Amino acid sequence: MVRGGTAADPELTMTEKDDQIPVHLRDAPLRRTPRAMPENLPPYSFFAALLAVAYAIAHVLWSLTAPPAFVRTEFLFGPVWLAALPATLATVGYSFLRAAATSVRVLAVCATGLGCVALGAYCMLLWPGLAQLLTVPFGEPISSTEIGAIVLRAIGTAAALGIATAIVPVARALRHVCVNCGRNHAAPDNEALRWGRIGGYFALASFTVRMVPAVHSWIVEGGLGDPAGFPLFIALMIAAGTLLPLALISPWGQYWPKWLGPIAGRPVPRWMLLGPGWMMSAGLGAYFGIGGLTAVALGRTGGALEILAYTGWGAGLAVACASYARRTRPVCTDHR
């Protein structure tokens, strides 16, 4: 298909275009947004790449000399130079993200992504370290070695996150969607609702699996010995397992329903659902998905069904949230 008129009749194309709502030429007649290269990568990704280079060089130098005490806490992952590998992979991938050849860009996206994930995983002890920092004002002691280790891991994590932001526009261009917003402006996005529904119903089913035995025991035991405020906690929990996943995939979660009078038909503020949705899925994923499943894998199989159900609930919510976030994205400044 020829885009926006023919080269043989440029004047006609111009007048036609003047009468129309300005639409980006590359999107107009095509069902798919063509593969375009993003004009710029996020500027801070460049500083993140510099940070990653410094991080890699420092680790190589430390492996050749006697490393300072705070670096020695990394020995539990292997030799000190090991940290230079993911940082180097991420940086090399980053430098090829804007290569001319599509195949090179695909490879660069994969290498950068792998490097960032590996570097983030290597620095994962940053998060317990930050939690430890929070206890310092309450009188818990912390050594300078521990602070040094936290700073080192913070640098690695910042480099991984910063470089990862550059992957987004490049990957969008490769996927034939708008570099700025991730939409396919040439076709309506029904796909996101389809996979979002699978996530929402999966969350609902997992929640039901979790709650059936609990409800049975409440009826039999009458909730004896439960602390005050427990009914509110249970009500919130039930809402997060039923209302929330359904709202994320239903029209009434996107626009206020008819019976709400004055606000009926107006868009629901997206963070009203995305806030609790992301928080629930992150909490369930971290506590039951990582913590619980690790305990089960180590042989502590008590409550395995509940742990699996909680994990499924969190995963389903995450999928439904991603779909909802996608469908309720703010209008793209490039294409109104």
From CA 87, how far away is CA 260, in angstroms rounded?
53
Closer Cβ to Zn ion, 258 or 336, answer by number: 336
- Alpha-carbon span 84 to 80, nearest angstrom: 8
**In the block, residue with structure tokens 């009500």:** 235
Distance of closest approach, residue 43 Cβ to Zn ion, in angstroms: 20
Decide if residue 36 touches Zn ion (CB under 5 A). Answer: no
**C-alpha distances in angstroms, 242 versus 229, 253, 257, 288?**
20, 13, 18, 19
Question: What is residue 260's DSSP assignment?
Answer: G
C-beta of 186 vs 280, nearer to Zn ion? 186
Compute how many other C-beta atoms are within 10 angstroms of the C-beta atom of residue 87. 31
Nearer to Zn ion, 59 or 185 (CB): 185
By C-beta, is 73 or 328 nearer to Zn ion? Answer: 328
184, 177 contact by CB (below 8 A): yes
- Least distance CB 24 / Zn ion (angstroms): 9
Beta strands in the chain (DSSP E): none
Q: How many residues touch Zn ion (CB under 5 A)?
A: 4
Min separation Cβ 254 and Zn ion, Å: 19
Residue closer to Zn ion by CB (options 25, 272) is 25
Q: Pick out residues in 132-191 that bind Zn ion (CB under 5 A).
A: 178, 180-181
| Shortest Cβ 333–Zn ion spacing (Å) | 8
Q: Shortest distance, CB of residue 136 to Zn ion, whole angstroms? A: 45
Q: Could you say which residues in the range 303-332 bind Zn ion, by CB under 5 A? A: 332
The whole-angstrom separation of Cα 117 and Cα 107 is 15
* Shortest-Cβ-distance residue relative to Zn ion: 332
The span from the CA of 306 to the CA of 292, in Å, is: 10
Q: Binding residues for Zn ion, per CB under 5 A? A: 178, 180-181, 332
